[in-house]
Structure 1
């Protein structure tokens, strides 16, 4: 008896499941038409929602009645761009003396400084600044007295010609210098 019931259930359950599906079946052609109709309806609905006429709402920028004034410190307002920018570069100086004794180099530097104060007005203004440096540089084992600060070798050579009138052995030497460019 149980075998009959199992057999009966095996037949009845698939029949009941088959009856619970969709009422009508369709082929692929009708599905495409339905899909295109629903797509067209969706586009029409979106077009109605996205179409907006802004001319019905004129908007103008408000007039600005406030005058803006900036409080900038006077020292920042001074035009200093023409003064140039100080840069430390590998440049040139004019060497006028070399010795192993630091005191001798310092004494010679003082003589060069005094000479420079006398002839500074005669020196080419485009080559020498108002504050032309006169320095003692030490590279073992020598103390070297050098003057000027030039970024370009051509400028240093022109300045050397002026300095050689007083110091015949003067020559152009590479050095780290601070120049205004």
Structure 2
């Protein structure tokens, strides 16, 4: 039997959570994560992108539009909430606001005529694309001087890291290592 490479499997309960990484290695990452978060917040990156999307859109509203854009199909309120990792009433309020601005509309669910789906209007789709283009343009500028392999590695590892963090946070407390 071939041993799995480090990090390729989930650790057993009580096992070292990051084989091959010392607490010092992990601790060295925290200031960088904090600095990155601070740079995003102080630079108002998300807010600037939301402003580019439309003058009356805030982050939560843009989040609904981007979720619909990423889905590529109309979604129920609950599906939007699940994908955004928020509660349904929050999404309902955002959808109502977006409807007032004619950025989304409700359509009948073809599989259940009693239910409705939310889909972006043409204006909503354009707003979501402006938001994404602003963010992606900014990141593309930051990475422009990086070698292609480094960019590909970053994107691959960042996607994996984000998926693993989201899965870990979504796991029941006992499975997530009794995290706070």
Q: TM-score range by the shorter chain?
A: under 0.3
**Higher share in strand:** 1
Using CA pairs below 8 Å that are at least 6 residues apart, which structure has the higher relative contact order?
1
TM-score under structure 2 length normalisation: 0.18
TM-score under structure 1 length normalisation: 0.17
**Higher share in helix:** 2
